[in-house]
Amino acid sequence: MAISHSGTGSGTGAGSDPGTGPGAADNAPELIQAVPLRRPGRWIAAAIVIILLFLFLYGAATNSAYDWSTYGHYLFDKRVSKAAGVTLSLTVLAMFFGIVLGVVLAVMRLSPNPVLRYVSFGWLWFFRGTPVYVQLVFWGLLVVIYKQIDLGIPFVHQFAHIDTQNLLTYYWLAVIGLALNESAYMAEIVRAGLTSVDEGQDEAARALGMSWGQTMRRIVLPQAMRVIIPPTGNELISMLKTTSLVTAVPLTTELYSRTRDLAVETFNPIPMLLVASTWYLFFTSILMIGQFYLERYFARGASRKMSVRQLQALADAQGVGNQKGLI
């Protein structure tokens, strides 16, 4: 049945709000009382983990085999701290040269020149296919395999003769061995980062008149770094721990070798292993914090989810706009 309404009627007109009529309060939906879903399994699992962790810590604190007094005595020993510095310098130098060489190898892999591509692939095939310990042993024997390096015209005349035993120390042989092995992995990481950027980005940059250097610096690299940084951070942390293998060179001045020597002197290896582990964990924690901030820096604009600072800035801007509208 059709109902007609007059313009002056007391009922709800066509232009009136149905939610503001006399019966709006009676027809309003009731508020839903949301009850959080109970998950007893989570609390049980958390309690079990906490109990097991407490039992482990209590057992470690009361176990005399750990010899915590010896651990505290040697933790900041000058010999240990100096060895920790050697380990850190090995990590930094090996990663620096590994990254530089890895970038060159990645560019060679992406080159249209087939010779460069095959040489780069052969490099990656060899250094990723052989254990790093075996490579370090070969680098330690370099002074035996090549006792002298001759510079000059091959098979004609040599201008200079270099004695490898005086030129290369075990420290630099360890740096070279670690860096060359790392370059193979960094090449794939860099190549993956560069190829992750859409080709349209490069085309758009060239359409704007940007040079190749400007395109790489302003367009490609900022986007590729989001892919490159996380695995590079993992490689850096892995390199820190891989330095314990330089005893194959042999180099015995880094952290693990020094604490092992102290363990032989004291006939107590367990606290010396704890000392080495503490220093490794300390350096790893610093590297992880740096990796976190680098990832956050290069991830700006990659996600639509705004950070707390961005939300606060937006709220402040809306508040200022509302105040201006009220004036």
Domain boundaries, the chain: 64-151+160-300
Beta strand 148-153 pairing with 157-163 = antiparallel
> CA dist 304 to 129, 198, 219, 221, 310, Å?
41, 19, 19, 21, 11
Question: Any alpha helices (H) in 63-169, and if so which ranges?
Answer: 68-75, 78-109, 114-129, 132-140, 142-145, 164-167
Query: Quick one: which of 157, 156, 159, 98 has its CA closest to 132?
Result: 98
In residues, how long is the chain?
327
Task: Give the pLDDT of residue 7.
Answer: 45
Query: Quick one: which of 138, 113, 143, 123 has its CA closest to 186?
Result: 123
Task: Give the pLDDT of residue 25.
Answer: 54
pLDDT in tens, the chain (327 residues): 444 444 444 444 444 455 555 555 567 677 777 777 888 889 999 999 999 999 999 999 999 999 999 999 999 999 999 999 999 999 999 999 999 999 999 989 988 899 999 999 999 999 999 999 999 999 999 888 888 877 777 777 777 777 777 788 899 999 999 999 999 999 999 999 988 888 888 888 888 888 877 888 888 888 888 889 999 999 999 999 999 999 999 899 999 999 999 999 989 999 999 999 999 999 999 999 999 998 888 777 666 666 677 778 777 887 655 555 555
Q: How is domain 64-151+160-300 classified at the architecture level of CATH? A: Orthogonal Bundle (1.10)
Task: Give the pLDDT of residue 2.
Answer: 44
Task: Give the pLDDT of residue 9.
Answer: 45
Q: Which amino acid is at 27?
A: N
pTM score over 0.85: no
Question: CB of 314 within 8 A of CB of 106?
Answer: no
* CA 72/CA 75 separation, integer angstroms: 5
Residue 48 in tokens: 């079990």
Q: What are phi and psi of 38, to 5 degrees?
A: -85, 130
Task: Give the pLDDT of residue 276.
Answer: 96
Contacts of 102 (CB under 8 A, 6+ apart): 182, 183, 184, 185, 186, 187, 189, 190
* CA 191/CA 179 separation, integer angstroms: 18
